[in-house]
Structure 1
Amino acid sequence: MSGIEQTLDDVCALIDRVPDCSVQRCHLESDRAVIEIAGELPALMALQEVCLAANADIEPWLRRNAQVPGAVVRQTLFPRVTPRDLIDHGSLQLLGIHLAWGLHRLRLLSATEANRFLQRWRAGLVEG
């Protein structure tokens, strides 16, 4: 498995840790990953914010007042995988970093688990 494929698998596993959100399918396509997700509105709204922080495209853009509460919503993430600065796998890797930090902050990922990803991605570690 290539480094980009491993990063994609890791990011999808982290997305699956977000309550009320799941990855339906994912694949690599030229210079970006395609990650199809489904979930409840609050979870996907939170994930949108993580995508913004990681500079990862997401479609469609959800608006809180435009959706039916409790309905399952589908979105597609399009993080770039091209290297930039010290980031080997572009916004896909940044998405993983922000997910690891956020999931740890919400106590959905232990410090040991989060740091395993963060060390590999050369990102700031979390404290236990």
Structure 2
Amino acid sequence: MSRTYRILIILAGIMGADGVILAALSAHGSNAALLTPASSMLLFHASAVLATVALAERRLIQPTTGMGAAIGFVVAAFLFAGDLTMRHFTGHRLFPYAAPTGGTLLILSWLVLAVAAAWPRPA
């Protein structure tokens, strides 16, 4: 297993843990309007990262392009969830347009994953 795959799996584990923490905070706190979608994005995309790594390692998708999608999922989910979490706890944004930037990058990452599946794979 490559070092990149291992790092992505570690990051997916952190994303999953953070998603569960945010879900618990949203369930037990007041005004969870921002924490619930942040939790969902982290949990959903942690699974997407793990699946993408598994597909790339088995060469069911073009590995380099697939890793680009997985890295995009990680960065984008942290931008999206980080912005919402920051707004919840501090009232300030991570930076202007962080959540929409993360959302746009998530869309692009899913499209990159589709390209990785359509791209000719090495034998």
Q: Does TM, scored on the shorter chain, surpass 0.5? A: no
Normalised TM-score (structure 1): 0.34
Q: Compare relative contact order (CA 8 Å, sep 6+) and give the higher one, 1 or 2.
A: 2
Structure with the higher fraction of residues in strand conformation: 1
Normalised TM-score (structure 2): 0.35
Structure with the higher fraction of residues in helix conformation: 2
Q: Which structure: larger Rg?
A: 2
